[in-house]
Structure 1
Amino acid sequence: METIQSLRGQLEALRATQRVAIIGTGLRAPGGIADREAYWQALAEGRDLTNELPEHRRRTFADDWDGLLSRGGYLKDVLDFDAKFFGISPREARSLDPQHRLLLEVVWEAFEDAAIPPASVAESTGVFVGITSQDYRLWADGEPSSSWLIGNGHCFAAGRIAYTLGFQGPTMAIDTACSSSLVALHTACRALAAGDCDVALAGGVSLVLAPRSTAEIQRTEALSPDGRCRPFDARANGFVRGEGCGAVVLKRLADAERDGDRILAVIEGTGVNQDGQSSGFTAPNVLAQTRLIESVLASAGLTAADIGYLEAHGTGTPLGDPIELEAARTALGSPRRTWHVGSVKANLGHAEAAAGVLGLIKAVLCLEKRRIPQQAQFETLNPRIELGDSGMTVPTETVPWDSSAGRCAAVSSFGMSGTNAHVVLSSSDSFERVMSPATASGFLVSAHTESALRALAIRYAVRLSEADYPAFVYTATHGRTRLRFAAWIKADSAQEARDALTALGNGTEDPRMRMLDSAEAVPSEAPARAVLSLPTYPWEKVTYSIRPLGVGDT
């Protein structure tokens, strides 16, 4: 008996080391979405964020887009970039794949969201990036330069993040097609458990910049001919291509609790496997998917009854959806409870290498809000899908998360390459726990340029509230990198702070605000750690393109 108890203790200790905290996120999604709250609102309202191909992209390749299905979940202004902020010359910026540019900004925002200046953890931070597309390579005219070479290779997407921010932990780009970003997350969690790094950045990115990849996908007949992605629906006829970028900052759970981090969610377990020999090289394998879900639950010490929500891969294809839900029904089904399944691809399109991390952030929001968003584009269940008495349901409206359904969320991401990934998350009691400093009499505002400083001051003024003021003071002063231009705001209340910030933003004088010299120390002791989501950095972007754009473009 003592031996059994000892082995159980060792198993629980091992599981404890594998639990990972998500402490910050950054994202870009179609519809101008650039933060978690806007993302949640779009999901809760069931909005379709897809659109037609931006005209300047179509003009860049002239007639090459003719005959292609061009509706998708496209981001705006993907050629725009704040190169000066990252110390990148205009010439190098033009050669740099816009996916790499986007990753730099979103990663920076993820660390700001975690209230961790990157330089403070540089030696122990690893970078794990999912990336597949290389459309920008096709924009080259003439012989590529050396900057073109290192601006477009997959490995350089992760390497540039580490180089720019000084990270010295394991750094790699991962390409397993559609499952890339969730495989990157799995790899990051393994690196943390092994002690290879103490902080990990995991994410993915995907942009559709040239027609060639769309033409190749269209030949597989996987794209929806009417440009709508309808996961699980009887009208499902394929997916639409989507764009996006997501990043999460991770720590071992024990370290995050020790450091007083705000924990958005806890990763209970992750897993990766391969379809092996299925009915075709790109065809999914129901047995492999089932085994993966079951193995992740087992390794985390959980059961099917713990899963209340599954963020499915859910591409809206007639073949893939029935196979995936059959695997989910087998691994998670129970006649004694009602649990939900959804897919963000109905809102965004299929963001390919970024799909997994965007689904993950959706699951984090479901845990935080304790609600399940309505499934967009869903009316009638696909007749090929058998739910039986599994308790699985597709929500047609945004509903409360019933605690009896299970406390955890699961996320699946299946690659066309056959590589599958699965993650199980739980909520954290520490999300609402605010460790407020005793006093809040002043804070720092800083930016790379004077104009960005003014813009950030206005964003801060809009965000401020009395209830959040102590956490605001800590996050603004100690949770963000001090940059070239800095101002100190001495204010005892949120209202005083708003007035001073407004003056700073408008370029007027206020006795509570003064500019700091670059070498001048912050005039306060660090209070207790209290993290608050603040507005993202006001990037000052310039359009960088290796090819001339259409008339009227910049």
Structure 2
Amino acid sequence: MEDAEDEIAVIGIGCNFPGGEGLDNFWRVLLEGKNCVVDIPAERFDTNFWYDADESKPGKTQTTKAALIEGFNEFDHKFFGITEAEADSMDPQHKLLLQCTYRALEDAGVAVESINGSRTGVYIGLMNKDYEMLQSNSSTTISHYNCTGTAMSVAANRISFTFNLTGPSFAIDSACSSSLVALHLACQAIKQGDCAMALCGGVSCIIEPKVYVALSKAKMISPAGTSKPFSSRADGYGRGEGCGIVFLKPLKKALKDCNKVWGIISKTAVNQDGRSVTPITKPSMTQQEELLRRIYSESDLANVQYIEAHGTGTQVGDPTEAGSISNIIAKTKPPGSERLRIGSVKSNIGHTESAAGVAGLIKMAPPTC
């Protein structure tokens, strides 16, 4: 474990995941064991046109279901000082980020005025460009707001602009690990003095059907639209959408300022598979094990009680992940220690892709409902 001087506190949480906006609704979904998968409504796209059970059919998806948030694209533009014309050209993901950032600050008991001009960093995981793809289909409606409304960089920069934050601010696309890589970079930035505090997380929205087609052809998607982590019935992942933001501060400073502490981040690490396995989409047990060795010391292993895993429900990914966790943690726990439990929030809210990591992190915060 790292020196306590380096520990980072989570002092605020804002989220909107399937099952209802806010942390209490998210926790209610978890406590009730709810599966939030629904039929994709026509407002998103016409599943009657895009669906076909035959996986060999070109241009078709094998599922018509997803875990979706309520009140999609509802946004009080005046509250954030944004004109209606500009808001109309904004990616719904940008809107969710602003809303959840405000909720995270509110949850932390931090007045917006008190962080005005502060050296607070913004680190956002973002991978999907559904709205940009839709906008580009109609060139006659493109305005100067389209650039700022859909750019990945602006997804983070708009938070900094709206709340007048002067720390580093950028979006990160490392696919489904995006929000956890954002967390790693935010923690590193705080430790090395790039920023005094940080807002970080991820977002993903399902608007456009072509990603479904690609996932179907790659045999990654569940025909039932439901992720079944670590199950013999696993048949691919079910997609979900949502947004999660956590507000980070050095633990020592958070305790001094009497902030509420949801949880403590002791250590983070990131690696890559290189070419240890093929194809490029296949996970590497070797590299997963190497990362776990770097994270956990021998003294840590005896105390590990639970792992919130990636657990998408794919027939390749889940056995690889379970095997690496077993080899490095479960098998090396001292005799007589507690059984190691693993789980995945994707069984409740689907795989939220670039928001998946932060969803798992928020799941580990103590419940308030």
TM-score, length-normalised on structure 2? 0.91
Task: Indicate yes or no: 2:222 matched with 1:230.
Answer: no
- Residue 22 of structure 2 aligns with an amino acid whose one-letter code is D
Match of 2:121 in 1: 126
Asked if the contact 2:202–2:245 (Cα under 8 Å) also holds between the matched residues in 1, the reply is yes
CA distance in 2, matches of 1:149, 1:302: 50
Once the two structures are TM-superposed, the CA of residue 65 in structure 1 deviates from its matched residue by 5.7
The 5-angstrom pairing of residues 32-181 of structure 1 reads 33-59=20-46, 63-64=49-50, 67-68=60-61, 69-122=63-116, 123-140=118-135, 141-143=138-140, 144-181=142-179
- The one-character-per-residue Cα deviations of 1:245-286 (angstroms, maximum 9, x if unpaired) are 000000001010111101111111111100111132010000
Identity percentage over the alignment?
A: 39
CA distance in 2, matches of 1:280, 1:328: 22
Which structure's relative contact order is higher, taking Cα pairs within 8 Å and 6+ residues apart?
A: 2
Q: Secondary structure at the match of 1:80?
A: coil
Match of 1:287 in 2: 286
CA distance in 2, matches of 1:251, 1:332: 29
Match of 2:317 in 1: 320
Task: Indicate yes or no: 2:360 matched with 1:359.
Answer: yes
Question: Which residue among 10, 14, 20 is the counterpart of 1:22?
Answer: 10
The 5-angstrom pairing of residues 366-385 of structure 1 reads none
Match of 1:217 in 2: 215
Once the two structures are TM-superposed, the CA of residue 37 in structure 1 deviates from its matched residue by 2.3
- The one-character-per-residue Cα deviations of 1:198-218 (angstroms, maximum 9, x if unpaired) are 110011000011111111111
Q: Secondary structure at the match of 1:103?
A: helix
Once the two structures are TM-superposed, the CA of residue 62 in structure 1 deviates from its matched residue by 8.5
Once the two structures are TM-superposed, the CA of residue 73 in structure 1 deviates from its matched residue by 0.7
Asked if the contact 1:119–1:166 (Cα under 8 Å) also holds between the matched residues in 2, the reply is no
Once the two structures are TM-superposed, the CA of residue 194 in structure 1 deviates from its matched residue by 0.6
- Residue 84 of structure 2 aligns with an amino acid whose one-letter code is P
- The one-character-per-residue Cα deviations of 1:157-184 (angstroms, maximum 9, x if unpaired) are 0000100110100111000000000110
Once the two structures are TM-superposed, the CA of residue 24 in structure 1 deviates from its matched residue by 0.6
CA distance in 2, matches of 1:171, 1:336: 47
Q: Secondary structure at the match of 1:271?
A: coil
- Residue 340 of structure 1 aligns with an amino acid whose one-letter code is R
Asked if the contact 2:270–2:291 (Cα under 8 Å) also holds between the matched residues in 1, the reply is yes
Once the two structures are TM-superposed, the CA of residue 363 in structure 1 deviates from its matched residue by 1.2
Q: Secondary structure at the match of 1:228?
A: coil
- Residue 312 of structure 2 aligns with an amino acid whose one-letter code is T
Once the two structures are TM-superposed, the CA of residue 119 in structure 1 deviates from its matched residue by 2.9
The 5-angstrom pairing of residues 244-263 of structure 1 reads 244-263=242-261
Asked if the contact 1:65–1:211 (Cα under 8 Å) also holds between the matched residues in 2, the reply is no
Match of 2:57 in 1: none
The 5-angstrom pairing of residues 511-526 of structure 1 reads none
Number of aligned pairs? Answer: 352
Structure 1: state its 5+ residue gaps. 1-11, 370-532, 534-554
CA distance in 2, matches of 1:62, 1:321: 31
Asked if the contact 2:44–2:206 (Cα under 8 Å) also holds between the matched residues in 1, the reply is no
Match of 1:336 in 2: 336
- The one-character-per-residue Cα deviations of 1:111-169 (angstroms, maximum 9, x if unpaired) are 00000113312322110000000100122212522210111011110000100110100
Q: Residue 48 and residue 62 in structure 1: after superposition, are their counterparts in 2 closer, same or farther (change >3 A)?
A: closer
- The one-character-per-residue Cα deviations of 1:214-264 (angstroms, maximum 9, x if unpaired) are 111111001112222111111111111110100000000101011110111
Asked if the contact 2:245–2:358 (Cα under 8 Å) also holds between the matched residues in 1, the reply is yes
Tell me how large the CA RMSD over aligned residues is.
1.8
Match of 1:518 in 2: none
CA distance in 2, matches of 1:185, 1:302: 24
Deviates more, 1:289-298 or 1:104-113: 289-298
Question: Which residue among 181, 184, 188 is the counterpart of 1:186?
Answer: 184
Deviates more, 1:306-315 or 1:15-24: 15-24
Once the two structures are TM-superposed, the CA of residue 35 in structure 1 deviates from its matched residue by 2.2
Structure 2: state its 5+ residue gaps. 53-59
- The one-character-per-residue Cα deviations of 1:4-54 (angstroms, maximum 9, x if unpaired) are xxxxxxxx9x722321000010111112x2222222221122111111102
CA distance in 2, matches of 1:118, 1:280: 47
